[in-house]
Amino acid sequence: MTDIWQSAMDHAVALARKAGQVVRDAVGDAQKEAVMVKSSSIDLVTQTDQKVEKLIIQSVKEKFPTHCFIGEESVAAGEVCVLTDSPTWIIDPIDGTTNFVHTFPFVAISIGFSVNKQVEFGVVYSCLQDQMYTARRGKGAFCNGRPLRVSHEKDIRQAIIATEFGSNRDPGVVDKVFSSLKRVVSIPVHGVRGAGSAAINMCLVASGCVEAYYEIGIHVWDIAAGSLIVSEAGGVLMDVDGGLLDLMSRRVLAANNQSVAEHLAKEIDAFRVRRDDAA
């Protein structure tokens, strides 16, 4: 049977590669780029983020004129952020903008594609490492064509956990983030890491070198593609409180299996943040 979304997925991979070249060309000059701020002084955006998002959206519009978009920089510029049942491209032109600005080498182009609010394919291109992560629903997850499988570890005490501090430095939020982190470190786990890119953290879970990743404060464009890459690699996704994952809730927990995920969820202070689709 033909896969009706295959040509869209092929286009996404080609666009991620093209966008990756734009980012690689700019990264040497990233520190000279005008860095602008969004929700806070540490929520950064550059002209390269905007250029890459424009490049992707223009090209998709030409090829798939009826499709919808949720793009990080378009939303920042005032577009609505609502996930409908229509075929929708969910784009983070540079996931890891702070890394990009500092030339810290984990920077990804993340493209998720959803239909009926279900992610059909995900593409995460870690462009400075030249690692192309892809997943098509029901057909597995791959990195540069090599199949991905999550770690078999069932004991969270033998795990590496990825997380991030996010970009909210409100003292109350920082307290909650650190109290969760203290509990996680004290389980004790083998280690805590953070790549500085939600999409890459999720691909690390899918690759089996990190058992789980959690964060509160991410956005749908940070996790849409990665969520499918994790599940197609055999992993699980949930809300940080152990409930069902809601892509618009700005909270995510991705893990290699249910037992690691549930243990981790018990240690996290699952505070609420303004949803991506809040009116």
Of 53, 153, 211, 222, which is the active-site residue?
222
Q: Is 175 designated active site?
A: no
Residues in 47-86 that interact with ligand IPD by CB under 6 A? 72
| Of the candidates 189, 187, 192, 188, the residue with the CA atom closest to the CA atom of residue 162 | 192
The pair of structure tokens assigned to 248 is 């618009």
Residue 32: DSSP 8-state? G
With CB under 6 A as the rule, give the number of residues binding ligand IPD. 16
Q: Is 200 designated active site?
A: no
Smallest distance from the beta carbon of 36 to ligand IPD, in angstroms? 12
Binding mask 247-276 toward ligand IPD (x if CB under 6 A, else -) reads: ------------------------------
Using CA atoms, how far apart are residues 271 and 170, in angstroms rounded to an integer? 13
| Of the candidates 141, 115, 278, the residue with the CA atom closest to the CA atom of residue 199 | 141
Query: Is the CB of residue 9 less than 8 Å from the CB of residue 225?
Result: no
Cα 260 to chain centroid distance, Å, stands at 20
Q: Of 9, 57, 91, 198, which lies in the binding site for ligand IPD, with binding defined by CB under 6 A?
A: 198
| Of the candidates 135, 142, 271, the residue with the CA atom closest to the CA atom of residue 216 | 271
Q: Is 33 designated active site?
A: no
Of 95, 120, 153, 232, which is the active-site residue?
95
- Segment lying near ligand IPD (by CB under 6 A), choices 1-9, 62-70, 142-150, 193-201: 193-201
Query: Is the CB of residue 230 less than 8 Å from the CB of residue 249?
Result: no
Per CB under 6 A, does 211 bind ligand IPD? no
| Of the candidates 127, 107, 115, 63, the residue with the CA atom closest to the CA atom of residue 89 | 115
Find the residue with minimal CB distance to ligand IPD.
Answer: 164
Of 49, 53, 73, 92, which is the active-site residue?
92
Q: Which residues are catalytic?
A: 72, 92, 94-95, 97, 222
Q: Which residues of the shown chain bind ligand IPD in the complex (CB under 6 A)? A: 72, 92, 95-97, 164, 166-167, 196-198, 215, 217-219, 222
